[in-house]
Chain A
């Protein structure tokens, strides 16, 4: 059994229309996901596809209407497990400003560890390690207000790392960042995944962030539309477009070329891959 497992997960939320009638909206509709420890998982989907509700289930911020969510052997519907689950599966949110608690970088990184009642010396050690792992050691004494968006998100990730989780869930962490900030955050995540073996579940609507994933789940209307390795996902351009996702330029170009009858292999993602293939064809 994997570190994160959902079984027929269903979640309804209740909202009111303009006439004050209750409406039930099904945000997640029968989700089965199994994530192995140490994987880099990307969940893709457009706004309203249910991907954020899914993220909140993994941190016991929401509880399933029906079905189960099990994190590292702990069932989220059991209230007793709440705090252990939040320690095992840390969560980073979209808005970098609204998740930092302290004025100073290192104080903020320490916040989660303080909440877990970790002894002071151990917190100091963990803060140093966490800041190093996201390359923010030089900024430890800075005020968080003066950091860029990408730096703020890396501080937020360090704050989760200081809690020593098995798994990090990120709910659109790059949605409010510029391209430089996006790259910083994604590179930090990849490093954590490769070097520390942290399971990463990245929820996003930027497809290019999914290129190096071990496994991709594409969500639409609360269901999984398609899942698998990046090469398989990116070969299904029509389906991705149907799910409202923007396909990377290289993939789309390769797809269009193939439609015109040019022989290219399936699921091209990288620029240099495409160039290589085109050069090969040209030489022939």
Chain B
């Protein structure tokens, strides 16, 4: 399975990779909750320690984890600066005209920055260690209760995995269309931004048409193979094993630790 490069799945064999996707989804959720309730240095210490432990266990190189950081850099700087300038508590550190930076503001800014960084790293660990198809399976199973309120969970998960299956096919097709249009004299390089966007219309139109045709054929083929929605068994049913149960235990302990640390202050 080494040649699937959809999403950002990092293919190594680790404890974290082997966990049931439902465990990882739940863990990510708990991690996010913990990040947002943490309010003192002890709870941040627990979070930092746990995150580092998980990263080491996942065998994902640190570089891959901070790749996602580029996209949130601006948000990170703005939100930290806002906190620094507008939170007024503790001693005044710098006073310059209208600018008044307090020690409370600096601490708050540091926490907010750390929170955002941890959020990106924590969720990256999830996407780097879980195959998209497993993620779809895990979501289908763990959100199964939503069927009660008539949300078609199975259908949504099926659409997700079909979309993933067709990403490489459509990329190949896009490539072919670009070549075909270039051969007919289409120009994708010159012109300003708007011009460049407009240049892509001759690619998008045939791509849309062919995807709709594909979808129609796929639907027929699925029906011919007796697909009729929900009532089906699984070739690879998700099953919890010992490690998964232990991981759930660790997650609960982690959350309890955060709550205790919060109560300390």
Contacts and interface: CB of A to CB of B under 8 A. Distances in A.
Does A associate with B in a complex? yes
Interface of A: 59, 61, 83, 86-87, 90-91, 93, 95, 97-104, 106-107, 110-120, 123-124, 127, 141-146, 159-160, 163
A97 B223 contact: no
9 contacts: A91-B224, A93-B224, A98-B214, A98-B221, A103-B165, A104-B1, A111-B225, A120-B233, A141-B1
Given A114-B235, A115-B232, A145-B169, 20 more contacts: A86-B225, A90-B224, A95-B217, A98-B218, A99-B217, A101-B165, A101-B225, A103-B4, A107-B235, A112-B225, A112-B226, A113-B233, A114-B232, A114-B233, A115-B226, A115-B227, A117-B232, A117-B233, A123-B233, A144-B165
B143 interface: no
Contacts of A123: 233, 235
A259 B46 CA distance: 93
A264 B114 CA distance: 89
B3 A143 contact: yes
Contacts of A93: 217, 220-221, 224
A160 to B, nearest CB: 7
B222 interface: yes
B191 interface: no
Contact of A97 (B1, B169, B228, B233): B169
B226 A127 contact: no
Contacts of A99: 217-218, 221
B133 interface: yes
B225 A159 contact: yes
B224 A59 contact: yes
A146 B172 CA distance: 11
Interface in B198-249: 214, 217-218, 220-228, 231-237
Contact of B3 (A91, A112, A146): A146
Contacts of A106: 235
B225 A103 contact: no
A124 B1 CA distance: 18
A101 to B, nearest CB: 6
Contacts of A118: 233
Interface string B1-38: 10110100000000000000000000000000000000
A115 B231 CA distance: 7
Contacts of A143: 1, 3-4, 168
Contacts of B225: 86, 90, 101, 111-112, 115, 159-160, 163
A116 B226 contact: yes
Contacts of A142: 1, 3
B199 to A, nearest CB: 27
B100 interface: no
Contacts of B224: 59, 61, 86, 90-91, 93
A109 B155 CA distance: 20
A153 B119 CA distance: 44
Q: Which 6 A-B pairs have the closest CB atoms?
A: A110-B235, A99-B221, A98-B217, A112-B225, A115-B226, A145-B168
B168 A127 contact: no
Given A59-B224, A86-B226, A100 B165 contact: yes
B165 A102 contact: yes
B231 A117 contact: yes
Nearest to B220: A61
Nearest to B227: A115
A71 to B, nearest CB: 13
A136 B4 CA distance: 19
Nearest to B231: A117
B174 interface: no
